[in-house]
Structure 1
Amino acid sequence: MSEPGPYGYQQQYPQQNWQQPQPTNVLAVLALVFAFLFAPLGIVFGHIARSQIKRTGEQGDGLALAGLILGYIFTAIGILFFIAWIAFWGLFATAVTEAADDARSNTYSYTTAQSYAATTAPRTTTVPQTTTAPRVTTTVSGPLPTVTGTDRQGFISNGPRCNASNPAVAVAITTGSRVVVCETGVGRYYYKGERLSDGATIEIDDPIRTREGFAARNDDVTYQLSPSGLLVLDGGSELGSEPAVEVWLN
């Protein structure tokens, strides 16, 4: 109620308008929380919250902005980590595959003149050369090969050699290989070859006699040994030819 002033006027008191403070936007809070829990969802909540705050005037724009910034940072870190994780396991799988391939690839097949290449052939096995003990000349019966450095089982010190009690029926030195064909004693043979350039070896079961010598087949690749040398064919196509240096055929 107003009272009369000194000049007869009623004294007026200004009215005070009290405004309720705006509540904090719920999505702004969620944006900041999910920036730590699941960053992409924090980004989504942050954008929605800022849009709602512009319309409603609610509090929480700083929270929404913080959620957006942290959400983008953590999302970028997560993407980088995921890429690094994929790269690591990709390299690991490649290393495991290469190791398994190396373990399986224990035989060789001819690809070009005077060269061998790794392949997997179930009928063949490699025989590692050893230098820990000298080879011993045996007394296996049969004619003595005329090739230098050989006895009745093949090469004495360097080169392929027949297993114990198996005599050699063919021995050869070519421009690229040393070769021996051995007899098991029951009318069957096996072929052993060694590449001169790096000592790579190959062993093939059941080569057959031909009019000129022997032919050993390793899948589609055939090794033909004759007095003229070693001829290698792949399905009839010549892969390589190594002229003979010394050849003995029984």
Structure 2
Amino acid sequence: MSQTPPPPAPNPYQGAPAPQEKYNVMAIVGFILAFIVNIVGAILSFVALSQIKKTGEKGRGLAIAGVIIGLASLVITIIYIIIVVAFLGSVATQMDTYSY
């Protein structure tokens, strides 16, 4: 008599969703907009990271790059504006000094 093995026990633990083969569209758009409209690109990339975590889609690297590029370019833009305003204020002060 041959005995059949018992069926495998069900797995009570659910793992992360299986990665899908398609890229998250918001990650791509966020990455592109990070170069053009930096704050919008960074926000879309943050949202894409959240979606990728839930759905398992590809594009995590693009989303991270979009966040980094968007925030870095935002900081550089703010520093540039501060320097320009300080320079123009300095020029305006010097113009008042030399006027007769």
TM-score range relative to shorter protein = 0.7 to 0.9
2:11 is equivalent to residue 24 of structure 1? no
Query: Whose strand proportion is higher, 1 or 2?
Result: 1
Q: Who is 2:53 aligned against?
A: 54
Q: Distance in 2 between matches of 1:38 and 1:97?
A: 37
Paired residues for 1:1-250 under 5 Å: 21-100=20-99, 103=100
Q: Distance in 1 between matches of 2:19 and 2:84?
A: 52
Q: In structure 1, list runs of 5 or more residues that go unmatched.
A: 1-18, 104-250
**C-alpha distance in structure 1 between counterparts of 2:34 and 2:22, whole Å:** 21
Deviation per CA, 1:86-125: give whole Å up to 9, x if none: 001011111112222xx1xxxxxxxxxxxxxxxxxxxxxx
1:57-88: CA deviations, max 9, x gaps?
11111100011111111111111111000001
Q: Quick one: distance in 1 between partners of 2:46 and 2:79?
A: 23
- Structure richer in helix, relative to its length: 2
Residues of 1 paired with 2:31 and 2:66: CA distance? 4
Q: Tell me the distance in 1 between the aligned counterparts of 2:97 and 2:30.
A: 47
Distance 1:20 1:47 in 2: 19
Identity %: 36
Aligned residues: CA RMSD: 1.8
Structure 1 residues 204-239: Cα deviation after superposition (integer angstroms, max 9, x where no partner): xxxxxxxxxxxxxxxxxxxxxxxxxxxxxxxxxxxx
Where relative contact order (Cα < 8 A, 6+ residues apart) is larger, the structure is 2
Give the conservation status (yes or no) of the 8 Å contact 1:22–1:57.
no
Find the aligned partners of 1:44 and 1:77 in 2 and give their Cα distance.
17
Distance in structure 2 (CA, Å) of the matches to 1:20 and 1:98: 67
Q: Distance in 1 between matches of 2:30 and 2:55?
A: 17
Q: Any stretches of 5+ residues in structure 2 without a counterpart?
A: 1-17
For 1:23, what is the secondary structure of its paired residue? Answer: coil
Separation of aligned partners in 1, 2:19 and 2:79: 46
Q: Matched residues in 1 for 2:79 and 2:20: separation?
A: 42
Q: Which residue of 2 aligns with 1:109?
A: none
Matched residue type, 1:44: I
Q: Please tell me the residue identity of whatever aligns with 2:28.
A: V
Q: In structure 2, give the amino acid aligned to 1:85.
A: V
Contact 1:35/1:71, CA 8 A, preserved across alignment: yes
Could you list the per-position Cα deviations for residues 26-71 of structure 1 after superposition, in whole angstroms to 9, with x for gaps in the alignment?
1100111011112111110110000111111111111000111111
User: How far apart are the structure 1 equivalents of 2:20 and 2:74?
Assistant: 34
Distance 1:32 1:84, change over 3 A: same
Q: Is the Cα–Cα contact under 8 Å of residues 20 and 56 in structure 2 kept in the other structure?
A: no
Larger radius of gyration: 1
